Amino acid sequence: MEAKSFKRLPKHIGIIPDGNRRWAESHNKEKHEGYSYGINPGFELYNLCIHFGIQEMTFYGFTQDNTKRPAVQTKAFQNACVEAVMKLAHRDANLLVIGNTKSPLFPKELLPFANKRVQFGKGLININFLVNYGWQWDLSSNASKSIPRIDLIIRWGGRRRLSGFLPIQSVYADIYVIDDLWPDFKKDHLYEALSWYQEQDITLGG
C-alpha cells in the first residue's frame, strides 16, 4: 500500500502498545515474558511509517505508574525499552527519550538519549520514546515541551483510554483502538487506523 492511497495522513502518531501481559498469559507464558515480544512489532510499525512518510511517532514505553507492578515485570519492560533503543541505533531515526531520569527506575543505558534528540543514520523520522514517564511529572516540569501536538493515537489491546499518555499533546488527537494485543501487530492494523483517520474532520476544537 502506498502513501498516495490516503488523501490525508497524520504528521505525528502516538502509539500505546498495550496487551503484552495478556498476550503472554494467552500463550502459556509468565506475564513478564510478554514484553520482549513487543519489540519486533515496534520495528515493523517504524518501517511502515517511514514508508508512508510519517514525520514523527511517539511510543509509550513505560510509566511511573507501571513501576508499581511486580519487580520481575518492571525489570522486563525496562530491558525491553533498552533493547528497542539499541536496535534503533542501527536504523535511521532522530530519537528523543522523555522520562524522569532522576529516578533509579530510569534505565541508565538510556541516559545518553534522554531529553535531547540524537540522530541515528539518516534520521528519516522523529521517534519519541516515553520511558519512566509520568503525566504529573510532565505537567509540573513541562518535560515534553519539545514534542508537538499528536494527530492520531493508536492503542492496541482494546482499552479505550489514554492512561496518562501526553495529556497536553493529546487534547485534539483522534483515538483509534485496536482490539488485538500489541504482540499480535500486523500491517493491516496501521492501514485500518490510517483509513479511519483520513475520514475524520480536523477542527482543533473549533
Asked if 63 is part of the footprint of a copy of itself (rule: CB under 8 A), the reply reads yes
Closer by beta carbon to a copy of itself, 2 or else 201: 201
- CA 182, 112, 78, 74 torsion: positive or negative? negative
Near a copy of itself by CB under 8 A: residue from 135, 137, 182, 185: 135
> What is the smallest separation between the CB atom of 139 and a copy of itself, expressed in angstroms?
7
Stretch touching a copy of itself by CB under 8 A, among 41-49, 84-92, 94-102, 175-183? 175-183
CA distance 197 to 153: 10
Closer by beta carbon to a copy of itself, 82 or else 168: 168
Q: What is the chain's length? A: 206
Near a copy of itself by CB under 8 A: residue from 176, 178, 182, 190: 176
- CA 52, 57, 62, 63 torsion: positive or negative? negative
Stretch touching a copy of itself by CB under 8 A, among 8-16, 30-38, 66-74, 101-109? 66-74
Near a copy of itself by CB under 8 A: residue from 164, 181, 190, 194: 164
Asked if 70 is part of the footprint of a copy of itself (rule: CB under 8 A), the reply reads no
59 forms bridges with which residues in the sheet? 15, 129
Closer by beta carbon to a copy of itself, 28 or else 203: 203
Near a copy of itself by CB under 8 A: residue from 7, 28, 102, 205: 205
Nearest to 179 by CA among 149, 147, 156, 153: 156
* Secondary structure percentages of the chain, helix, strand, coil, to 5: 40, 20, 40
Describe the strand order of the beta sheet including 12-17 as a list of residue ranges.
118-120, 93-98, 126-133, 56-63, 12-17, 152-156, 174-178
Asked if 174 is part of the footprint of a copy of itself (rule: CB under 8 A), the reply reads yes
For 176, phi then psi, to 5°, come to -115, 125
CA distance 133 to 196: 29
Asked if 20 is part of the footprint of a copy of itself (rule: CB under 8 A), the reply reads no
Asked if 162 is part of the footprint of a copy of itself (rule: CB under 8 A), the reply reads yes
**Residue numbers at the binding site for a copy of itself (CB under 8 A):** 63, 65-66, 68-69, 135, 139, 159-164, 167-168, 170-177, 200, 203-206
